[in-house]
């Protein structure tokens, strides 16, 4: 399985200055501002191409598919070539919100067989804190030649997610109040998948938005009963922030599966049971 890889602003600067084949992708996305293009145009890492998470890293299907189902591989390949990804490129992804958008790009691209995708640790804030320059406006790239194939990462469908708590650990990485069913601002039902435990995804990062050291990440998962041989699944609202949790678990040396449909799919199936409160 392709491992999670971080890159620092300093190392990215050196990579940009070298002759190494490189594509940098800006994946600005937030729940309240899903279109990050205005922020991208106001200031981005020089040479970075903007990626629309909603339109290029997700498909648009029925509500029962969830809010961010995976794009068709042909559509993803068309987008990736537009971004300028060539065979052999190092691809660096970043965002400005808890590495959610960047991790979604990392998961989707590595699942499609791109071998070297690195996540900028600390995101755009780390780049700015390092005093590095920004570019404005829109940038485009020469058409790439990457060829994609799906299915390189572990994933769960809705039935597999339902059965996982009986044989492993299923972690809901949303905020505790959403897990408990006290608040649900987006999806049709509140609560969590029966048997799932709660491990909020924000805890994978330090105060500067950088990923915790591997041993601390391992301790977070271990506190929820996850060991090296545990079958582990992760889900969130729509498969975006859980991709960040998958990245963190990979840094910790674990081999998780992503339930891509996540709560947005589960809660749209009226026949699926819902648990509330702190109990799994």
Q: What percent of the chain has pLDDT over 70?
A: 99
Confidence at 2, pLDDT banded by 50, 70, 90? low
Active-site choice (171, 236, 254, 257) = 236
- Across the range 190-214, mean pLDDT stands at 98
Burial 169-195 (b: 16+ CB within 10 A, else e): bbbbbbbeebbbeeebeebeebbbbeb
Q: Is 236 a catalytic residue?
A: yes
Provide the 3-class DSSP secondary structure of residue 63. helix
Mean pLDDT score, 231-251: 98
What is the rounded CA–CA span in Å between residue 214 and residue 64?
A: 36
The tokens of 199 are what?
A: 């491990």
Q: Which residue is listed with tokens 């963190």?
A: 248
| Overall CATH class of domain 155-266 | alpha beta
pLDDT at 244: 98
Which CATH code, of 3.50.50.60, 3.30.70.520, 3.40.190.10, 3.40.250.10, is assigned to 6-129? 3.40.250.10
Task: Output the CA torsion sign for 253, 6, 114, 173.
Answer: positive
SS (H, E, C) 217-250: HHHHHHCCCCCCCCCEEEECCCCCHHHHHHHHHH
For 103, other C-beta atoms within 10 Å of its C-beta total: 26
- What confidence score (pLDDT) does residue 279 get? 82
Is the distance from CB of 199 to CB of 173 less than 8 angstroms? yes
Domains 6-129 and 155-266 agree in fold: yes
Domain boundaries, the chain: 6-129, 155-266
pTM, two decimals, is: 0.97
Q: Are strands 169-172 and 197-198 parallel, antiparallel or unpaired?
A: parallel
The whole-chain average pLDDT of the chain stands at 97
Asked if 174 contacts 104 with a C-beta cutoff of 8 angstroms, the reply is no
Q: What average pLDDT does this structure show over 132-145?
A: 97
Reading the block at residue 266, the tokens are 């589960």
């Amino acid at each position: 399985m392709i491992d999670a890889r971080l890159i620092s602003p300093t190392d990215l600067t050196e990579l940009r200055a070298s002759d190494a084949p490189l594509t940098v992708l800006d994946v600005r996305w937030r729940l309240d501002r899903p279109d990050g293009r205005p922020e991208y145009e106001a200031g981005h890492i020089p040479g970075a191409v903007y990626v629309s998470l909603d339109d290029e890293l997700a498909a648009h299907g029925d509500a029962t598919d969830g809010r961010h189902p995976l794009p068709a591989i042909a559509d993803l390949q068309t987008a990736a070539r537009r971004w300028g990804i060539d065979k052999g490129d190092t691809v660096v992804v970043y965002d400005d919100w808890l590495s959610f958008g960047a991790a979604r790009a990392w998961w989707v691209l590595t699942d499609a067989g791109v071998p070297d995708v690195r996540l900028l640790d600390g995101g755009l804030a780390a780049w700015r804190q390092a005093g590095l320059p920004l570019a404005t406006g829109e940038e485009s790239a020469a058409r790439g030649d990457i060829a994609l194939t799906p299915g390189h990462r572990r994933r769960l469908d809705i039935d597999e997610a339902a059965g996982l708590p009986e044989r492993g650990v299923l972690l809901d990485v949303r905020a505790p109040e959403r897990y408990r069913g006290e608040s649900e601002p987006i999806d049709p039902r509140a609560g969590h998948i029966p048997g799932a435990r709660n491990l909020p995804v924000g805890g994978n990062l330090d105060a500067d938005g950088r990923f915790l050291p591997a041993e601390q990440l391992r301790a977070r998962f271990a506190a929820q009963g996850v060991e090296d041989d545990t079958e582990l699944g992760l889900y969130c609202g729509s498969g975006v922030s859980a991709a960040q949790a998958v990245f963190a678990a990979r840094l910790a040396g674990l081999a998780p599966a992503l339930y891509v449909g996540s709560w947005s799919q589960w809660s749209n199936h009226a026949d699926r049971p819902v648990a509330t409160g702190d109990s799994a």
